[in-house]
Chain A
């Protein structure tokens, strides 16, 4: 799928995160801000990249503002942001778990 517009998903409340996604040519850039970046930054970015890979997103700018979200919340918010940023959402539910 291709990111064709800017989109947001999530909140800045505790245990949540805000995902901002925008079109970008030539590759994927993930920018991460988190209160727990020293302990969990690598893990959070891995979850974000894995979630995007399952959706076949190869180009885009993804800015994450994390407030201590669990992995499943990160996946849900990234998937929602992508869903809002593409023209046609073609993902199967089985690819989202």
Chain B
């Protein structure tokens, strides 16, 4: 017997198919199907009263901590947080313990994800062991299921290795994701270098640490003709470099995160370890430049860099605190704030959070075309909620947005037609 779900009276926003209209979306047996004139018996129906119906959101940059640091997050808990944030798929970075540099680890991750509330796409390491020397076995990793390679958390210091990685990854149809950081400039730094770091007596990380390495990656992509994706861009300078490279036809895509377009280094004042991440929060000019980059298409995707840490890593001296914040449950509300501020349109939001990530990673979803997977997110752009530690679904609570009043959220998430999150209140 087939299972049918009908999302009625939604505002369907599906940029992949140039759709933005009121209507019904039919899902049957895990696929999007054409609406029929008669509602079959046993169909599950939701009257959405104009709420948005969009292709399931995809976060192409998360850390799920399993294997190795299950006390921070597991694939199950991370996927549950993803569903609560409106995501139906995530790409998980390889800096686990052990790192995902072999097919065995990739298969373990995929096995753990079989019953998870989101599709989990493993990212393999660029280098063997993630140690910055020698290439990981991309062919085997790809065959086991990785969608990209990255040494995220650390830059690839050796330029020749990065060049070879881009070339070799291209042969296997894999995307290289760059954590762009010139480590000689950022070493021991714990926040953005500037007035606030001086006032707080904290060691700074200059913007040049990011832009120098972004420039290298762009030059290597140009040299090799391979694709490169720049992760978590935090500065206006790097945004400019990417914009210019795109104009020249370099095969580059880029992501930024909600914290870079929402917060500045001022969030660190009071030595708030929940505002410590790498790259660090920058200044207002950078925040504005990132917003312009989202508007003009310099950025292809919004990712979260969801990085769960427990109090063990965060309730310590600022210098000793781990980098990173959770982001899956705040990404959509913070991006909706950009829509309300007139920075981006509703359509652009869906492109940045679903259509483009699917295209960049070459994975299913990102579209509500008939025959596509039934990964769907229903968004109530009006719903207000108080983001509190008690309300966090992720196993870790390290967010600088705790205590914020947020507006707009996912109220229904469907993965292959199955409900993974339901917060419809009517």
Chain A complexes with chain B: no
